[in-house]
Chains A and B, each alone.
Chain A
Amino acid sequence: MSLAPPAAKPRRQGEGLAQAVILAGPAIFLAAFCVTPLVLLVQLSLSHHQDGGLWSPGFELTQYRALGEPTFLRVVGFSLALAASAAALTLSLAFPAAYFISRMRRRAQVAWLVFILGALSLSEVLIVFAFQVLLSSGGALVKALVDLGLMAAPQSLYPNLGAVLVGLVYLVLPYVILFLYPAVSRLDEEMPQAAATMGASPLRTFFLVTTPLMRGPLVSAAALVVIFTVSSYLTPLVLGRPENWTVGVHLSNTALDAGDMPLAAAQAVLLVTAVVGLLGLVRWIGGQRAPA
């Protein structure tokens, strides 16, 4: 990143024109597909709901008042708790994994990266399906548990909260490993070694040196997981019971089943606000005593 403010650089003649030519196309695209949908979303959330999935333009806060309903707030609270647990679980797997991968030999690293990219590209649809098969009463996991005597009789391991959590962790794990990979590969190897020469065991080194050095990327990764999971749709729908449904499932049901687009839009605006707030918080935490 350049430290000099853009104004400090004397602008050469023609640069402005060149930029305008280059950026005209992308600017039109962004206006049409980024700005407009956001504006529409806000406008929609203020519109008047009509039956049959229709709405008429207007300016009313009906939808926003509906957000204060206790049932909806409970769903939001549950989603946040679920997302936070998913973030904690995912980071405790992804951070050591990314660290170890970044310390492997090249061939092993490439193999792991291809493997993780392959898993990352797997559709959520397929993941929930695979977990359905895996956790079903006739699945290999249940059979193994029965054979080992850990389960009395074959019974399905889903739908329940645990299955939802496992599915969500699976979904975001490749993203988080790849997100942390550049940061851990930049980590100076002499830092943990210095800790070792001062008497720190590998475990204490990990918690006293490696983790604090990675605080910024770890906090960002946690935020990423929360954003991804708080509004997850398919996984809680398929692997969970209705009481395990997230804000995402309820939002989709509002839009698709109830056909109340304005209310769905208001719920979406709330989610966007939460995301922006979370990212702001992350930046603020990252700004506190950032590693030099």
Chain B
Amino acid sequence: MNPALMATWARRGFMGLVGAFIAAPLVVVAGVSFNPTRRMSFPPTSLSLVWYRDFFGDPDWMASLRATLTISASAALLSVAVALPIAYAVWRYHSRLSKAMAGMGASLFLLPGVVLAVMFSALWGVTGHVGRIENVAFSHAAVFLGIPLSLLAVGFDSIDLGLMEAARTMGAGEADAFRLVVRPAMTPYIVCAIAYVFVLSMNEYLIAYMVAGFSVQTLPIRIFTNMRTGYEPTMCVAAVLFMVVGFCVFGSLALIGDLPRLMGRLRPLRD
């Protein structure tokens, strides 16, 4: 076999293994959720939707689902709403203040999750505002702030400042230039940032547990309690739900926007 062909097959083999590794847990969880019996086994003995019926018919699971969606949606919107002005100020004014704020905002994302959990449980404990659903939303918004900050910075950097200047020489004011140049260029990045924080917040366990776990049961908390106290196949349905939401969100993002570019690829890509 010639060396070029060998290299191609080595590459494909490697990527196949990486793909299989990443896919394995997804396949297992999905498989178990279709199991007709109570036993936690894989591969499933036959296909059944019984646990799906149980899941959607159970008021406790539904309450968790609602709480989780509420938290992640508000955390995503809040986080992007805070990051957008900061990233804009960094790009537009290069000011020391805005850069310091961007660094501050991104720093939490770099701290270990356990530390963050202790920090926020102390914060809410001190204010005496404990066990509330909004605590989790605010904590998540702060913790994941680094994601919209870096994504939006990539977005702003991709805007040609010359374009802004051209718009202004043609008589566009600051507000017009923003509307005509900045908004269309930034929309995909904003959507991407919201999606990213939404999905991460939805899956976060430790902070949610430490901040309000005893009164607000988010889906990850309920799943984990389930796992510890005794296996119940409905939790796999919740897991499948997570995966479906994740893939749908990012899949549709790929349909509406240029995903490689959103992920930071600056060189144009050949089809």
Contacts and interface: CB of A to CB of B under 8 A. Distances in A.
B113 A231 contact: yes
B86 interface: yes
B22 A125 contact: no
B265 interface: yes
A126 B242 contact: yes
Given A19-B98, A170-B25, A275 B122 contact: no
Interface string A221-255: 00010011011111000100000000110011001
B15 A9 contact: no
Contacts, number: 272
Interface string A244-283: 0001100110011000010011001001100100010000
Contact of B235 (A18, A44, A115, A129): A129
A117 interface: yes
B152 to A, nearest CB: 12
Contacts of B95: 6, 19
B246 A117 contact: yes
B114 A251 contact: yes
Interface size class of B (residues with CB under 8 A): 35 or more
A133 B32 contact: yes
Interface string B120-139: 11110110000000000011
B173 to A, nearest CB: 12
A117 B250 contact: yes
B15 A252 contact: no
Interface stretch (A66-74, A99-107, A153-161, A207-215): A99-107
A109 interface: yes
Interface in A73-109: 93, 96-97, 100-102, 105-107, 109
Nearest to A33: B142
B264 to A, nearest CB: 3
Contacts of B204: 123
Contacts of B81: 25
Contact of B82 (A25, A139, A279): A25
Given A116-B22, A125-B220, A181-B263, A100 B119 contact: no
A135 B28 CA distance: 11
A129 B29 contact: yes
A14 B126 CA distance: 39
Interface residues of A, number: 91
Nearest to B174: A18
B200 interface: yes
B96 A25 contact: no
Q: Which of A124, A129, A248, A251 has the most CB of B within 10 A?
A: A129
Interface string A120-148: 01111111111111101011100000000
A248 B210 CA distance: 13
B166 interface: no
Contacts of B263: 113, 178, 181-182
Contacts of A36: 123
Interface of B: 7, 11, 14-15, 18-19, 21-26, 28-29, 32, 39-43, 81-83, 85-86, 88-89, 93-98, 101, 104-105, 107-108, 110-115, 117-123, 125-126, 138-139, 141-142, 145, 154, 174, 199-200, 202-206, 210, 219-220, 223-224, 227, 235, 239, 242-243, 245-247, 249-251, 254, 259-260, 263-267, 269-271
Question: Which 9 pairs between the two chains have the least Cβ-Cβ distance?
Answer: A182-B264, A231-B112, A130-B25, A123-B203, A33-B142, A121-B246, A121-B199, A37-B119, A117-B250
